[in-house]
A = this chain, B = another copy of it.
Amino acid sequence: MNTFDIQEIIARALAEDIGGGDVTTEATVDPDKDGEAVVVAKEDFILAGYEVFLNVFMSLEPGIEFNVEYLDGDNVEKGATMFTLKGPMRTLLTGERVALNLLQRMSGIATLTARYVDAIEGTKAAILDTRKTTPGLRTLEKYAVTVGGGRNHRFGLYDGILIKDNHIAAAGGITKAVEAARATAPHMLKIEVECESIKDVKEALKAGVDVIMLDNMDEKTMAEAVKVIGGKALTEASGNMTLERVRKVAETGVDFISVGALTHSAPAVDISMRVKG
């Protein structure tokens, strides 16, 4: 993870929430009063984002003390006490919502990812994320995917060449598009082509691509494609990857399965923070 990014995300989130001040806490809590908070799981999940969580409070008050019982990647069971925090009561109350918003979202992503990873256990496939992330939070969300056992597809439009149908049409066919990419795009990036049929797969293979995306194919066609490719390129299955379906897809022999839902539709997990004076 890029630390600069994270500090900026936290600062922005705190500014958004606190604005001109936490008027309630300032009016009701003495600035010298200390407090203690326990952070408790209200359901089972995979933890992701504990450093981000703690950093929210440290951004407000460097001297906060933490006791950390679980780390990223750990299975947390409902009822477990994950962290305890000690410090000024005002800081604990003011930082609570932002810290939880980030932790619940990140853990939600890690948890959903882990379910997909578990579903394909024993196959050779890996679960990939996509660029369907929350604008501004991609760094955190892609990290949460790795915590859940998934792997990261490209971070943006700049670190991977993914030739889709429109690029193919604009360039005049798969072969021409691949040649154009090889001639001018950065040579350290692999070239992937979105294929919708066995015919596409064959043309892509002939053009010497590094990765072939099997886009919106049924499992049977995928299996055939994997066979045709025969290890000469990596394969990525994409499109409509539900938890129900994903194992069947993995069993076709693909290398990667990309799942947009990991980041665009993972529900937040339920975590509470109980503060006492």
B-contact 0/1 string along A169-211, CB 8 Å cutoff: 1110000010011011111111010000000000000000011
Min CB gap A212→B, angstroms: 13
Tell me the smallest distance from the CB of A22 to a CB of chain B, in Å: 4
Cβ < 8 Å to B, chain A residues 6-23: 9, 11-23
Q: How many residues of A contact B (CB 8 A)?
A: 97
Stretch at the interface among A67-75, A116-124, A157-165, A246-254: A157-165
Copies of this chain in the oligomer:
6
**Looking across the interface, which residue of chain B has its beta carbon closest to that of A161?**
B24
Contact check: which of B16, B104, B151 meets A156 at CB < 8 Å?
Answer: B16
Question: Which residues of the other chain, B, contact A85 by a CB distance below 8 angstroms?
Answer: none
CA distance A190 to B3 in the complex (A): 24
Interface core residue of A12, A131, A135, A167 (most chain B CB under 10 Å)? A135
A187 to B189, CA, bound (A): 9
Asked if B134 and A170 make an inter-chain contact with CB atoms under 8 angstroms apart, the answer reads no
Among B135, B164, B169, B192, point to the contact of A16 (Cβ < 8 A).
B135
| Residues of chain A whose beta carbon lies under 8 Å from any beta carbon of chain B | 1-5, 9, 11-30, 33, 35, 60, 89, 92-94, 97-98, 100-102, 104-105, 108, 128, 131-139, 142, 146, 151-164, 166-171, 177, 180-181, 183-190, 192, 210-211, 234, 256, 261, 264-265, 267-268, 275-277
